[in-house]
C-alpha cells in the first residue's frame, strides 16, 4: 500500500493536536468521545455512544462476507502538568496526553475515513474507542457493557506508540507482549511511642524495613528464573516523627509478570512473608492484593496477520518477535475475550519517554499507523 495521501494526513494531525489540547482523564472523556462520534458519523459509520460509560463504537458494514474485525484506540490522558510550549499544548492545567492516546485516536479515525470511503471489503469493521485505559478500568467497563455481545468482533487489534522504536517501525510478537500489573498494600500494626524507650514499645518500623528486604527474595529466589517478574516497593508510610517510633507502617508496591501462575506465586509469597515477619516482631498484619491489568498476550494467527499488514505498508519496518515489555495495557483484558494482536509503533528514538511532561506524539508516525490499520482489513479481505 502506498503511504496515505499527505492532505488527509495533515487533517488527521490537526485532529490529533485538537485532542491533545483538550486532554481528559479516565472515564471523563466526554469532549473527546463527542469529537470521535462526530467524525465517525461524518464518514458514514454507524455510531453507538456511551459504551462502558463514555466509550464510542463505530460499525462499518460492506457486503455480507465473513470479515469481523475490531480496531481499538484509547482516548484518555494523564494527570500530568505539561511543560511543552507549542501551540497545541494542553489547555487543562494538570492534565496532558503524555502517553500518545491522542495519536492513537486520531490514527484510528483516519483509518475509519479511508475504509469508509476508499476501501472495498466484505464484512464488518468495528472501531472501538476506549476510555480509562491509564488506570485499567476502561476495557473492562466496555466488556461488561456487552462490547463483544452487542458488536460483531471475531478478532481485535491495537497499536501503541513507543519512543524506543524508530519512526516507521512496527514491532510485535506472538505470546506475551505486555505484562500484567498487580498492586499490594501491607499494613503492620504494633505499639508506637517515645524514641528513647523502644524497650517499652512494639514499634513497626524495623519490621517494615526487614519486610521490604524480604520481599525482594520472591522474584530472585521463589519465582522461576525463566518466568519474568518485577516486584517493586513504591511507598513506605509510617505514623512516626523525629522522636516518635511508629506503631503503624504501610507498605505499598507493584508487581509485573506475564502468567497467572507467577501472579499466584507472588501473591502467596507476599502474604506468607508478611505474616511471618509480623509474627516474629509481635505485630498484627493485613495484606490487600489487587489485579489491575491482565497480561497482553497476542494470539499466533492474528500476529501473522499483523506481520502481513506491516509488510504491506510502504516504508514501514517490521520487527517480528520483538521482546516483551514490563509495562501494562488493559487491552490485555480484551485479548482474554477475543484473539488479536497488540503492536508497538515507533514514535522516533528522539522522542521524550512516555509519561514525561515534555512528551508529544510524533505526527510523522500518523501515516504508518493509519496505513497499518487499513492494511489489517485489506489483508483479511485478501485471505
**Which of these, 235, 218, 236, lies nearest to 227 by C-alpha position?**
218
- List the grid coordinates of 234: 513504591
Task: Rounding to the nearest 10 degrees, give the CA dihedral for residues 291, 259, 229, 288.
Answer: 20
Helices (H), ranges, the chain: 6-21, 30-42, 101-117, 138-144, 147-150, 205-215, 217, 260-280, 300-312, 331-334, 366-381
Residue 221 in 3-state DSSP? helix
Cell 502467596 belongs to residue: 268
Q: In terms of Cα–Cα distance, which of 210, 248, 257, 211 is closest to 230? A: 257
Proportion of the chain in helix, strand, coil states, percent, rounded to 5:
35, 30, 35
The answer to whether 158 touches 226, Cβ cutoff 8 Å, is: no
Grid cell of 252 as nine digits: 505499598
Which residue in 170, 99, 181, 163 sits closest to 322, CA to CA? 170
Contacts of 74 (CB under 8 A, 6+ apart): 101, 104, 105, 129, 130, 131, 133, 138, 158, 331
- Active-site residues: which are they? 76, 133
Q: Which of these, 85, 111, 87, 99, lies nearest to 12 by C-alpha position?
A: 111
Q: How far apart are CA 128 and CA 139, in angstroms?
A: 10
Helices (H), 137-204: 138-144, 147-150
Amino acid at each position: 500500500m502506498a503511504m496515505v495521501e499527505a492532505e488527509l494526513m495533515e487533517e488527521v494531525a490537526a485532529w490529533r493536536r485538537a485532542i491533545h489540547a483538550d486532554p481528559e482523564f479516565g472515564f471523563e472523556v466526554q469532549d473527546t468521545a463527542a469529537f470521535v462520534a462526530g467524525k465517525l458519523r461524518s464518514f458514514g459509520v454507524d455510531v453507538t455512544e456511551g459504551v462502558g460509560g463514555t466509550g464510542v463504537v463505530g460499525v462499518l458494514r460492506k457486503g455480507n462476507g465473513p470479515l469481523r474485525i475490531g480496531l481499538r484506540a484509547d482516548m484518555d490522558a494523564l494527570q500530568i502538568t505539561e511543560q511543552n510550549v507549542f501551540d497545541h499544548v494542553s489547555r487543562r492545567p494538570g492534565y496532558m496526553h503524555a502517553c500518545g492516546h491522542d495519536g492513537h485516536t486520531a490514527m484510528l479515525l483516519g483509518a475509519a475515513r479511508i475504509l469508509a470511503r476508499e476501501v472495498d471489503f466484505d464484512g464488518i469493521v468495528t472501531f472501538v474507542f476506549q476510555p480509562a485505559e491509564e488506570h485499567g478500568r476502561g476495557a473492562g467497563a466496555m466488556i461488561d457493557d456487552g462490547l463483544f455481545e452487542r458488536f460483531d468482533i471475531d478478532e481485535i487489534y491495537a497499536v501503541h506508540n513507543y519512543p524506543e522504536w524508530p519512526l516507521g517501525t512496527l514491532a510485535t510478537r506472538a505470546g506475551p507482549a505486555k505484562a500484567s500489573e498487580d498492586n499490594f498494600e501491607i499494613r503492620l500494626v504494633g505499639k508506637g511511642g517515645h524514641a528513647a524507650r523502644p524497650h517499652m514499645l512494639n514499634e513497626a518500623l524495623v519490621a517494615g524495613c526487614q519486610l521490604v528486604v524480604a520481599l525482594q527474595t520472591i522474584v530472585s529466589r521463589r519465582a522461576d528464573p525463566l518466568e519474568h517478574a518485577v516486584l517493586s516497593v513504591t511507598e513506605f508510610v509510617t505514623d512516626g516523627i523525629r522522636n516518635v517510633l511508629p506503631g503503624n507502617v504501610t507498605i505499598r508496591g507493584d508487581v509485573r509478570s506475564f502468567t497467572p501462575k507467577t501472579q499466584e506465586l507472588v501473591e502467596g509469597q507476599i502474604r506468607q512473608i508478611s505474616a511471618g515477619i509480623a509474627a516474629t516482631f509481635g505485630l498484627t498484619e493485613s495484606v490487600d492484593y489487587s489485579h489491575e491489568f491482565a497480561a497482553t498476550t497476542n494470539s499466533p494467527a492474528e500476529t501473522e496477520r499483523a506481520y502481513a499488514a506491516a509488510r504491506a505498508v510502504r516504508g514501514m519496518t517490521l520487527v517480528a518477535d520483538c521482546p516483551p515489555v514490563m509495562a501494562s495495557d488493559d487491552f490485555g483484558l480484551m485479548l482474554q475475550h477475543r484473539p488479536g494482536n497488540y503492536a508497538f509503533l515507533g514514535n522516533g528514538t528522539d522522542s521524550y519517554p512516555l509519561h514525561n511532561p515534555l512528551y508529544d506524539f510524533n505526527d510523522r508516525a500518523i501515516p504508518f499507523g493509519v496505513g497499518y490499520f487499513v492494511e489489517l482489513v485489506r489483508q483479511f479481505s485478501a485471505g
